[in-house]
Amino acid sequence: MKEILKERISNSKDLFVNLRRHFHKHPELGYQEHETAKKIAELLKEWGLEVQEGVATTGVVGVLKGNKVGRTIAIRADIDALPIKEATGLEFASQNEGVMHACSHDGHIAMCLGTAKILSEIKEHLKGNVKFIFQPAEEGPGGAEKMIEEGVLENPSVDAIIGLHIWPEIESGFVGISKGPIMAAADRYEMTIKGLGGHGAKPHLAIDPIIAASHIVTTLQSIVSRELDPLDSTVISNCSFNSGNRFNVIPEEANLSGTVRTFNPKIREEVPRRMESIISGIANSMRCKYDFKYEYYYPATINDKEFTSYFENIAKDILGQEKVFEIERPSMGAEDFSFYLEKVPGTFFFLGTKNEEKEINKPIHHPEYTIDEDILPIGVELFCSMVVDFLKE
């Protein structure tokens, strides 16, 4: 079976590349992926899968049933793009002005579809089911949670799940794994500091929200530096600060927002309480009022240790020992694949795309970001091999 898969995948490389380029050329934002979903559904139906459309608005689910009853494994691909103006100069660059696949989702779609195509050709050898989850809105507000709420892990019930992210920090063709946390929890906050407006020449007659807010931004960093164990990685980043519009007018209020990244669930619960304590204390001491809103966004992406070890062995068998490694540190970026891993065992891994010879070295979300298309067959082979091995048991 291993050789059959290799041959079929090798012969289908052009298909994978063409699929990736099609979706790159026609990117759509979260919950607007109507044409993307239509194309995905058409192909899955053409290859004989049972297809459900309109899941979580624009999600698509395809089910491939083997010739015998057995377990079910799911493969997930995110399908949304980003509001970025593309600057790659590629022949297949985005035709949707101001929207771009700058986070590899075009490659994820191509590999997931490629896997569906290859496995559909050998379904008589499969014992059980493969569920292909094409999920909208990973970039926000989080389509995974909505798909789960609408039953994507049921009928048939999913026993395990696997997903990947093409990763520009890893050399092309190498695979990075983690037998635990691989990406952080991502939360968001907003605050408004309310003072009293006045003339810049007479600050004693006003209550300056900018001064109070500035102290708050600085003091929040003491939570990380002085209140948390240094080994428990945490990030508090205030990423917007808007106040005033005139050089000589003290404004009425300051509006701030930012993100918090954590791995430890207890710290994740504690941070917003400490933040509000600091915000309240400084605001009150400077005669300001405040509003503070904190939203728990994506939980940490934590791989199942046993299932990841299982995948590791399969990946090393395909790529060789030297090309599969445990990452030294998890990413402080976030992924809503985490919601699936809270429900079923699985793994999320990084597939490297960095290739200096091809000048493929830009970070994700960069307007010149692209991928090394030679990795597409690798991703398909990893998925196919995992499915075949998992379903034989």
Which residues are identified as catalytic?
A: 298, 373
**In one letter, which amino acid is 140?**
G
Map tokens 């696949």 to a residue.
101
Q: Give Cα separations from 356 to 64, 86, 353, 363, 375 (angstroms).
A: 38, 20, 10, 13, 14
Cis before 168? omega within 30: no
Q: Which residue has the tokens 């979580």?
A: 56
Site of tokens 């530096």? 225
Q: Two tokens at 228? A: 């948390």
SS3 content of the chain, % helix, strand, coil (to 5): 40, 30, 35
- φ, ψ (nearest 5 deg) of residue 78: -85, 145
CA distance 236 to 232: 13
Which residue shows structure tokens 């109070």? Answer: 212
- Check: CB of residue 187 under 8 Å from CB of residue 258: no
